[in-house]
Amino acid sequence: MPDLAIDVRALTKSYGDVHAVKGIDLQVDAGEVFSLLGPNGAGKTTTVEILEGHRKRTGGEVSVLGHDPGKGDRSLKARIGIVLQETGVERFLTVAEVIDRFRGYYPNPRPLDEIIEVVGLQEKRDARVRKLSGGQQRRLDVAIGLAGDPELLFLDEPTTGFDPSARRNAWEMIRNLKQLGKTVFLTTHYMDEAQNLADRVAIIVGGRIVAQGPPGSLVGPDAAKTAIRFRLPQGSPTLPGAAASAAAITGEQVLIHTADPVTLLHAITGWALDNEVALGELSVNQPSLEEVYLELTRPKEEADP
Ligand code: ATP
């Protein structure tokens, strides 16, 4: 397997005069979970469909597992798995029967019981598809994507509509895929999902990549600062100088962004002890991927050519 599962250079795609993808570079290492994030219409589906070989590019170079997906090479198709938002399957078959049917389409399918275990459907092995919950059906979609034992799996919004515990289970399933050495290309609108699962993310806006790297390393223009939050009871004395000048106060809520949290916290907590002020709900946070994302995807005033 090449070290890079996906290598994209200067990719462009236009639909007539709509320039959906405007020259992007993307590298995905073999064995990593990579997440492509971006607002509606940013160019995610276009990019993913080009990688999957379902759409022709306008320009640039694309290599997936060492092949150009634009050439429709059958041997490449057997090495990638695609999990779309909805897979139409025969609802009167059982889970095992459905997976087995798809296994039959591939030269080297993954053993049935292993697939069922990876997706956590052991207890539903003999249940009919129509009796599965929504979350269980999504797991079955992933199981189908694994039927041919692909090296690279494309997962399109795998947890949309899940309740919180079903999402945690699905995350566990995606971690299982990584353990198996699979490369996972994940599109999601949930930032916490990307933050928890992805080794690296890329954020695409208006057909251009605006940030790429491990989720914790991405830094937006104003997001490099630690956020200190607390509740200041009414009638409290004025905050010490450095805190007062940086604080955004809404009612009792105080929010301070700082590049030097240690010094500022020392000043604030010392002041609170001296003045016997209770700092309610005190929290100190790094900017989340969601904050960085919102910062980077905020619409600009000027038009993008
Ligand atoms: P979403 O999050 O809403 O699914 P996306 O990031 O996947 O969005 P794309 O579907 O790739 O975005 O669309 C990118 C741009 O290309 C949009 O402006 C869209 O209207 C346009 N577009 C997509 N497919 C076509 C098409 N077949 N013909 C013309 N324009 C298209």
Q: Is 54 in the pocket of ligand 1 (CB under 6 A)?
A: no
- Give the ligand 1 atom nearest the CA of 13: 16
Query: Where residue 93 falls among pLDDT bands split at 50, 70, 90?
Result: very high
CA of 40 to the centre of ligand 1 (A): 8
Residue whose CA is at the smallest distance from ligand 1 atom 4: 40
- Give the ligand 1 atom nearest the CA of 38: 6
> What percentage of the chain reaches a pLDDT higher than 90?
59
Predicted model pTM: 0.82
Residues 61-84 pLDDT 10s: 999 999 999 998 888 888 999 987
- Domain ranges for the chain, please list them: 4-216, 226-286
**Beta-carbon neighbour count of residue 132 at 10 Å?**
17
Tokens representing 69 are 């997906």
CA of 13 to the centre of ligand 1 (A): 10
CA of 35 to the centre of ligand 1 (A): 18
Residues 35-61 pLDDT 10s: 999 999 999 999 999 999 999 999 999
Checking if the pLDDT of 1 tops 60, the result is no
User: Taking the alpha carbons of 251, 253, 254, 255 in that order, is the dihedral positive or negative?
Assistant: negative
- Give the ligand 1 atom nearest the CA of 43: 11
CA of 160 to the centre of ligand 1 (A): 19
Q: Which CATH number fits domain 4-216: 3.40.50.300, 3.40.50.410, 3.40.50.920, 1.10.10.10?
A: 3.40.50.300
Q: Is 43 in the pocket of ligand 1 (CB under 6 A)?
A: yes
Tokens representing 269 are 């907590």
Residues 148-181 pLDDT 10s: 999 999 998 888 878 888 888 889 889 988 998 9
Rounded to a whole number, what is the distance in angstroms from the first to the last CA of the chain? Answer: 39
User: Which residues face 203 on adjacent strands?
Assistant: 37, 211
Residue whose token pair is 């566990």: 172
- Give the ligand 1 atom nearest the CA of 47: 11
Residue whose CA is at the smallest distance from ligand 1 atom 9: 43
Q: Is 14 in the pocket of ligand 1 (CB under 6 A)?
A: no
Q: Can you state the percent helix, strand and coil of the chain, rounding each to 5?
A: 35, 30, 35
Checking if the pLDDT of 222 tops 70, the result is no
The phi, psi pair for 76, rounded to 5°, reads -70, -40
Residue whose CA is at the smallest distance from ligand 1 atom 30: 15
Cα-based angle 6, 176, 48 (whole degrees, multiple of 5): 30
